Amino acid sequence: MKLLLAQNAGFCPGVRRAVEAVEATLAAPLPPRRILILGELIHNPVYTEGLLRRGVTITDEAGAAAAAAESDARGHTVLFLRTHGVSRAVEERMRALSALYPHFEVRDLTCPFVKKVHDIAATAEGDLLLFGKAGHPEVEGTVDRAPFGVAVFESAEALSSLLADRNSDERPLTAAAQTTMGLEEWKKSKKILKNLCTNAKIFDTICGVTKNRQEEAAQLAASADLTVVIGGRHSSNTRELYELCESACPRVVLIERPEEVLSLRRELSHTMTVAITAGASTPDGLIMEVYKAMDEIRTEDFAELLEGTLKTLNTGDTVTGTVTSIAKDVVYVDVGVKATGMLARDQITDDQNACLADMFKVGDELRLFVIRVSDTDGIVTLSKKRVDRDKSWFDLVAMKDEGGIIEGPVVESNKGGVVIEAMGNRVFVPASRTGLPKDADFSTLVGTTQRARIIDIDEQRKRAVASIRSVMIEEKKAEEQAVWEKLEVGQRYTGVVKNLTTYGAFVDIGGVDGMVHNTELSWKHIRHPKEVVSVGQELSVFIKELDVEKRRISLGYKSDENDPWKLFNEQYKLGDVVTAKIVSMTTFGAFAEVMDGVDGLIHISRISLEKIARPQDVLELGQEVTVKIVEIDNDRRRLSLSIRALLEEAKRAEEQAVRDAERAERDAAREAAAKERAELEAEMAPYIVRSID
């Protein structure tokens, strides 16, 4: 059998550039906390599965938005845009998220050749004709950028149908191709365009590497009895390669994985010529694995095949063994080779008092790890703890996707965080995930048992990262939920002031916080809650409003007992004269405080007997004045006061006093005149009598 391996097989420059960027990020000394790819980086399931195993997340737009929102809490997050590109709208939304969240970074891995097609579409002066497969990511990203009409066609025949319905006086045409489409069909399409649309702008955008790959594959396929095309079954360029080879070779197979080669064993013969090529998204390692598998089929004979079926053991293997006998400190196991399998106590359990005879019985089958194979002694040293630990490791890996929680003692602390021993593995908890303040002493956690959620797995280094804080937050939410289920409007609580804002105070009422607005803290106007309360102060509050959906509680603090308006009505009535303090002035009057929490308006017309331009001409802030209560509006809690009323009353009293004085003076004058006449008459009386006589 002759094997022909294509030289132009495997990663194209655009794919290699993207893969190397992701690999470099994964291998960085301080890799991002999360690595995501918007869609598959490349269309190859084997490579994609490898990324997933190493903790990379393949996501969609909604998942990317959620990751961005979580990035402040979860740490530096990188989102890669796939090699096929994305639509302009999606790219803009991702860039906006990156600008909004400082820990969310977007890196564009779109192939430069694909970007060229995007640019051609964006600058097209008329309708765009695109040779490509509808629904392909590259095509969707191109269509979204075209300012005018777009028509996608997959064959020269389809193009002819499109042009047959087009009027010659329509806008000029721009034609381009998806970078991975078939070269021959594009040549036919260009010929049709040149014949029917003399003014069409035609851009040869099929990747040059793709051209070389297709030309070489066609030549190899023509000289082969069987052509093997390696690549993802949903990869456009791999499918094009397959169809091209199919037209030149009598037998063509498409395989994704090396193990699929075994299915070809029966039809291969020593006289065959087999051509091997691969799509642009196929890793070099995968191509070589397929080639080696084909080469082994070519070179192996039956004796070698038979020899390959004989079981051998090597250090690092995991085997199934059967217990043959049990001693005090060792279990003997048959592992299917001509050597004695020995399983020592310290490779079974850490409990030195455990009875091995109680733990196992002859005939038990065990999964064991091969620590060492000694040909000299004929002994295979085995470990059960290693297999158990590995199994637990896979359980930890599974727990990451499920949001699983581990529990175990904290066995170590350092500046970076703490280490929890759980399920036979050491799990690291970063400082920011311990639930302690930034400058706290993390050694206080050593010796305590903690619950933590697995948040990151590095399968290559077998390193698990967890968050105690995540579990604490979840438990706090559960406690809060229990409190929320019992809350009712009107319930009274003795709460503690947690913090103050310009508009009110937040009060802890037993696991949840409610807000007492400034207008509820005092009956009088306050500028800041610190004028009334302080952090740590206990307050007797009641639930005024409750919004369970939005998790909002509005608390009340004011009551009738401390209502200053009620106290005012108990002490004063209409017509009373009181002493008040000027607290503010406006263009239409001055406000005076009658008692704590009750202000009244002295209208500008009620300040002075004379007309004044503004209150400041007569009054000063802080000045105490005597006023008369001239109006009480209990519905609107408003009070009208008057200085003028008292001045007018004083003036009237003064005028009355003057009148009274004048009247008294007149009365006195009359009384004096009457007295004088009486005295005169008395004096003249004798004379008047003699005269008569």
Q: Which residues are catalytic?
A: 138
Compute how many other C-beta atoms are within 10 angstroms of the C-beta atom of residue 560.
Answer: 7
Compute how many other C-beta atoms are within 10 angstroms of the C-beta atom of residue 434.
Answer: 23
Q: 275: which 2 tokens?
A: 């051509």
Quick check: 103 and 97 in contact, CB under 8 A? no
What is the C-alpha to C-alpha distance for residues 263 and 635, in angstroms, rounded to an integer? 92
Q: 469: which 2 tokens?
A: 């804080």
Q: What is the strand order of the sheet 127-131 is part of?
A: 150-153, 127-131, 173-177, 201-202
Quick check: 81 and 109 in contact, CB under 8 A? yes
Quick check: 97 and 142 in contact, CB under 8 A? no
Quick check: 378 and 338 in contact, CB under 8 A? yes
Residue 453 burial (C-beta neighbours within 10 Å; 0-12, 13-18, 19+): buried
What is the C-alpha to C-alpha distance for residues 321 and 384, in angstroms, rounded to an integer? 11
Burial 628-651 (b: 16+ CB within 10 A, else e): bbbebeeeeeebbbbbbbbbeeee
Q: 141: which 2 tokens?
A: 């990203």
Range 469-472, long-range pairs (CB < 8 A, 24+ positions): 469/432, 469/433, 469/434, 469/435, 470/433, 471/405, 472/435
What is the C-alpha to C-alpha distance for residues 470 and 450, in angstroms, rounded to an integer? 12
Alpha helices by DSSP H, listed for 496-598, are 518-521, 564-571
Task: Give the E-state strand segments of 126-186 in sequence order.
Answer: 127-131, 150-153, 173-177
Q: What is the strand order of the sheet 77-81 is part of?
A: 57-59, 34-38, 77-81, 104-108
What is the C-alpha to C-alpha distance for residues 2 and 224, in angstroms, rounded to an integer? 9
Q: First and final CA of the chain: distance in angstroms?
A: 193
Q: 11: which 2 tokens?
A: 């990663």
What is the C-alpha to C-alpha distance for residues 469 and 453, in angstroms, rounded to an integer? 9
Residue 352 vs residues 187, 188, 327, 329, 567: alpha-carbon distances, Å: 78, 80, 14, 9, 80
Compute how many other C-beta atoms are within 10 angstroms of the C-beta atom of residue 190.
Answer: 18
Phi and psi of 548, rounded to 5°? -65, -40
What is the C-alpha to C-alpha distance for residues 550 and 569, in angstroms, rounded to an integer? 40
Quick check: 639 and 601 in contact, CB under 8 A? yes
Alpha helices by DSSP H, listed for 60-145, are 61-74, 88-100, 112-122, 137-143
Q: How many CA atoms within 13 Å lie on the side-chain side of 193?
A: 27
Instruction: Name the strand (E) or helix (H) holding 289.
Output: helix 284-299
What is the C-alpha to C-alpha distance for residues 178 and 117, in angstroms, rounded to an integer? 8
